[in-house]
Structure 1
């Protein structure tokens, strides 16, 4: 073709990989930050940091984008509330259980999103998708039952964490389904600015501001990473959807728990003392593989519906 530049498809794949990479490390840094800050304070900082950067950018580069705050679409307000609840649900899940547990259980989000396509958008479910749902369901039961046994000293904490993560997953589906419609009429980063800004405002009354003053420099770096993670991961995700097919992006992003599991295994081998490490036993690992694999199958074979309709 004579085009030496990077292909559009590859750009999308690389942006999706960046999102998966950042989300893979996210729960580990969240777990460490929970030693020093309350969950609501962490969620507030992540949203405030990301919203502020985008607000300043548009204030300088394109002020008309700020008008989204004057008369935001009702669907955007609902999507922002969903994202705000998703962040809190996932963080509480990490708080009560572990980074690995949170990453596996949250994979019910993409599966539920595929079901929303079936119920709301009247997309047909094919046999392969149904098989994917079944595999993921069996995997989740296996994973839940086995990990619960590992929390014999505090099963209530594990169940609380599980419930919070599922609330977060449902909230993410609400956000994702509405974002899918909104992005057709509005620039993705303009939407993101509002999606971060509204939860930041709502969480402000719950923040323990003095706790931030007592953070050491290394912990501040972790907290800033959490803010950057929000800004860059969701920004990269928007570009990924722009440059390549949604099913490819969804599959790549769904692989992010593998990064978490590998990192936790490495930390366990290094015997670090700054985070409680874990190694999943064979049953839990089989359950995790089934959940991730089932989610990928459900997402991948959904594209057949789109092709059939084209």
Structure 2
């Protein structure tokens, strides 16, 4: 039984890693999409695309799951509205700052989620896991040292970009806490269908449909990727919440800015002209190593306890 439980939790870790990977590329593609489409229309398309895929899936495979659309639980409605605010907040923040700066600010979300896991779900951290959090925190500070300095001196980004992205972080935590509760009672993707559908409905009157009529093939590919990213990333994180603790999901999600910054560094080397790029220095590289090391410690150091529990159960 303990071995099965351990396997299930590692499954949750894998799902969280899929989300972190996809979210690492997300702000870069969003920033490019903003050159041709307004934020609300992008958000509307992402939610509508993801909802349509899940709705059609259940329409042809298990129609009884569609009954949740008629009477969704109240906390699911609240979670959906929070997710809708999260999307527009992050995208508006990207309008006023860079992908890297947006990723710096949004990291307050996973940190608040980790605290919420301890407070609301009574999740316990052992000493070695807390040390892992500490290492990851130091790593994040070193990793973003230069970017933070530039960000603080940019008053426009601070006033507008910070506000919007921090709003996105707070509402994401609200969504995540409610999703963590709901996913224990309902299928994860059924919940996601409603979580996508309600914001899509809310943003429909505000979307500029004409913005999509003149898009070239490259921009359409980016927009479709954003829809697929929503579908897979949030589908994966819902399953991660189902199979493992919220604090583990939060520490893994903090890895996604590493992917963003490394990708931006590669683009800088390639000297692309379609997005403003940034370079990594020695502090950033050391910080990246510490973040990854701290995350591994925090997530996987519970093995010792599990082995002891398994040993006791066999004696």
TM range (shorter): 0.7 to 0.9
Number of aligned residues: 303
Match of 2:313 in 1: none
Note the C-alpha offset of 1:302.
Answer: 9.2
Are the structure 2 counterparts of residues 245 and 117 from structure 1 closer, same or farther at C-alpha, using a change threshold of 3 Å?
closer
Match of 1:257 in 2: 257
- Give the match's secondary structure for 2:196: helix
Given that residues 93 and 165 in structure 1 are in contact (C-alpha distance below 8 angstroms), is that contact kept between their aligned partners in structure 2?
yes
Match of 1:270 in 2: 270
Distance in 1, matches of 2:229 and 2:86, equals 15
Note the C-alpha offset of 1:85.
Answer: 1.2
Are the structure 2 counterparts of residues 294 and 109 from structure 1 closer, same or farther at C-alpha, using a change threshold of 3 Å?
farther
Are the structure 2 counterparts of residues 12 and 127 from structure 1 closer, same or farther at C-alpha, using a change threshold of 3 Å?
closer
Distance in 2, matches of 1:199 and 1:140, equals 32
Are the structure 2 counterparts of residues 260 and 55 from structure 1 closer, same or farther at C-alpha, using a change threshold of 3 Å?
same
Are the structure 2 counterparts of residues 209 and 263 from structure 1 closer, same or farther at C-alpha, using a change threshold of 3 Å?
same
Residues 225-260 of structure 1, C-alpha deviations (whole Å, 9 max, x = no match): 000100111223334455x53465544433222211
Match of 1:46 in 2: 46
Are the structure 2 counterparts of residues 293 and 11 from structure 1 closer, same or farther at C-alpha, using a change threshold of 3 Å?
closer
Residues 46-85 of structure 1, C-alpha deviations (whole Å, 9 max, x = no match): 0010001111111111111111121111110111111111
Give the CA RMSD over aligned residues: 3.5
Say whether 1:184 aligns with 2:184: yes
Structure 1 residues without counterparts, runs of 5 or longer: 1-6
Structure 2 residues without counterparts, runs of 5 or longer: 1-6, 309-315
Note the C-alpha offset of 1:123.
Answer: 4.8
Distance in 1, matches of 2:264 and 2:63, equals 43
Match of 2:160 in 1: 160
Matches within 5 A, 1:1-80: 12-80=12-80
Are the structure 2 counterparts of residues 95 and 306 from structure 1 closer, same or farther at C-alpha, using a change threshold of 3 Å?
farther
Are the structure 2 counterparts of residues 256 and 126 from structure 1 closer, same or farther at C-alpha, using a change threshold of 3 Å?
same
Residues 190-213 of structure 1, C-alpha deviations (whole Å, 9 max, x = no match): 100000000111111221111111
Note the C-alpha offset of 1:115.
Answer: 1.4
Moved more, 117-126 or 68-77: 117-126
Are the structure 2 counterparts of residues 89 and 306 from structure 1 closer, same or farther at C-alpha, using a change threshold of 3 Å?
farther
Match of 1:4 in 2: none
Matches within 5 A, 1:104-183: 104-123=104-123, 146-147=146-147, 149-150=149-150, 154-183=154-183
Are the structure 2 counterparts of residues 124 and 153 from structure 1 closer, same or farther at C-alpha, using a change threshold of 3 Å?
closer
